[in-house]
């Protein structure tokens, strides 16, 4: 997105007037009004975690989009009812999922133990005769998932509750309002103006440069297909270093694939009709994950795909990214 478009979208958001459809080539140029403040939020934000670790975020402008999927979308679920959503305020979003190195700083500084560490086991897997066999594994945690990871891989084996603890810690440390994204913020940011099933279009086979999903690399290890494999070989059977694939139009990496990302919301049916800044169901025990993972076939990497999970669940493809809310905006 060009800087002019960003400025226009941001200014309109501040003015509380009609919103510019981000990425809509038919939109007319917009004049920045006189009400625009002298100091705009920076396009990028870097939070110093300590331990030489930094968490980078990018500003997501306000706007309006169609959340959910059209009835004809291949692989669609019934809970993706399409409706208009307005994101009324700009916010920052992590350019990548939180990495192993970043999570380690949190653990080392806070002394927090993840739910898997407290329990002494987690949900892991082993591969037996070409079949992925999921089971409870003693000692399995973010420190020791079911495959090898490096520090720049997305942390896995983290529950929704663990992600909350990270956000609470980083809020105190940074003085910023750090949180998980709402489901609407997540999908708006993932689409980045796109209206197709995936940021790259409607054909899942065109996603090779975009996403780490269940591909031919994984198929070499799992000869017995689970939910299906992508036609491409993205080079990674399990997690990949964050930022290994194309960024979307907002500059966000790994929105589709690599790890599923926890959202703040309780899972439930979408509100009927157009909404502004929805924050999920008001009751219910399940939370939402988005984005699909290295273990998922293409359909689960669709921008509209929703996964509902117990907040204590942790697995080898459960990760998260954060947002920073602009207080007073
Ligand atoms: Ca892969």
Calculate how far, in angstroms, residue 140's C-alpha sits from the geometric centre of ligand 1.
22
**Average of per-residue pLDDT across 20-33:** 37
Other Cβ atoms closer than 10 A to 18: 10
Per-domain boundaries in the chain: 42-325
Q: What is the pLDDT of residues 113-137, one digit of tens each?
A: 999 999 999 999 999 888 889 999 9
**Average of per-residue pLDDT across 202-210:** 93
pLDDT at res. 41: 82
Strand (E) or helix (H) holding 58: strand 53-60
Calculate how far, in angstroms, residue 206's C-alpha sits from the geometric centre of ligand 1.
14
**Average of per-residue pLDDT across 22-32:** 36
Percentage of residues in the chain with pLDDT exceeding 70? 86
Calculate how far, in angstroms, residue 272's C-alpha sits from the geometric centre of ligand 1.
36
How does residue 154 score in pLDDT terms, banded at 50, 70 and 90? very high
Q: Say if residue 234's pLDDT is above 50.
A: yes
Calculate how far, in angstroms, residue 263's C-alpha sits from the geometric centre of ligand 1.
23
Calculate how far, in angstroms, residue 239's C-alpha sits from the geometric centre of ligand 1.
7
User: Could you give the C-alpha distances from 292 to 2, 9, 39, 108, in angstroms and in order?
Assistant: 29, 29, 37, 29
For 42-325, which CATH class? alpha beta
Q: Say if residue 14's pLDDT is above 70.
A: no
Calculate how far, in angstroms, residue 267's C-alpha sits from the geometric centre of ligand 1.
27
Calculate how far, in angstroms, residue 211's C-alpha sits from the geometric centre of ligand 1.
8
Q: pTM (2 decimals)? A: 0.88
Q: Report which of residues 41 and 218 the model is more confident about.
A: 218
Calculate how far, in angstroms, residue 293's C-alpha sits from the geometric centre of ligand 1.
8
Rounded CA separation 102/49 (Å): 7
Calculate how far, in angstroms, residue 246's C-alpha sits from the geometric centre of ligand 1.
14
pLDDT at res. 10: 40
Least confidently predicted of 31-45, 151-165, 184-198, 275-289: 31-45
Q: Say if residue 37's pLDDT is above 90.
A: no
How does residue 222 score in pLDDT terms, banded at 50, 70 and 90? confident
Rounded CA separation 324/329 (Å): 12
Q: What is the pLDDT of residues 237-293, one digit of tens each?
A: 999 999 999 999 999 999 999 999 999 999 999 998 999 999 999 999 999 999 999
3-state helix/strand/coil string of 135-192: EEEECCECCECCCCCCCCCECCCCCHHHHHHHHHHHHHHHCCEEECCCHHHHHHHHHC
């Amino acid at each position: 997105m060009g800087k002019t478009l960003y400025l226009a979208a941001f200014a309109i958001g501040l003015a509380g007037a009609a919103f510019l459809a981000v990425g809509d080539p038919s939109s007319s140029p917009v004049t920045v009004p006189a009400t625009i403040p002298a100091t705009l939020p920076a396009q990028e934000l870097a939070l110093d975690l300590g331990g030489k670790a930094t968490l980078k975020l990018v500003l997501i402008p306000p706007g309006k989009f169609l959340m959910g999927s059209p009835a004809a979308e291949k692989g669609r679920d019934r809970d993706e009812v399409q409706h208009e959503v307005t994101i009324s305020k700009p916010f920052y979003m992590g350019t990548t999922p939180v990495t192993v190195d970043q999570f380690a700083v949190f653990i080392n500084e806070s002394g927090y133990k993840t739910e898997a560490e407290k329990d002494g086991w987690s949900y892991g897997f082993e591969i037996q005769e070409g079949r992925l066999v999921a089971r409870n594994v003693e000692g399995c945690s973010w420190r020791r998932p079911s495959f090898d990871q490096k520090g720049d891989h997305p942390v896995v084996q983290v529950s929704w509750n663990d992600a909350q603890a990270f956000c609470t810690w980083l809020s105190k440390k940074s003085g910023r309002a750090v949180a998980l994204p709402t489901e609407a913020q997540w999908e708006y940011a993932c689409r980045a103006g796109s209206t197709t099933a995936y940021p790259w279009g409607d054909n899942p086979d065109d996603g090779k440069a975009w996403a780490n999903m269940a591909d031919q690399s994984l198929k070499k290890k799992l000869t017995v297909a689970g939910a299906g494999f992508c036609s491409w070989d993205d080079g990674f059977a399990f997690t990949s270093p964050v930022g290994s694939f194309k960024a979307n139009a907002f500059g966000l990496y790994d929105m589709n694939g690599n790890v599923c990302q926890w959202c703040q919301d309780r899972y439930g049916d979408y509100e009927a009709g157009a909404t502004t800044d929805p924050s999920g169901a008001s009751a219910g025990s399940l939370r939402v994950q988005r984005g699909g993972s290295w273990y998922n076939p293409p359909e689960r990497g669709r921008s509209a795909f929703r996964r509902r999970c117990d907040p204590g669940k942790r697995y080898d493809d459960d990760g998260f990214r954060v947002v920073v809310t602009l207080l007073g905006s």
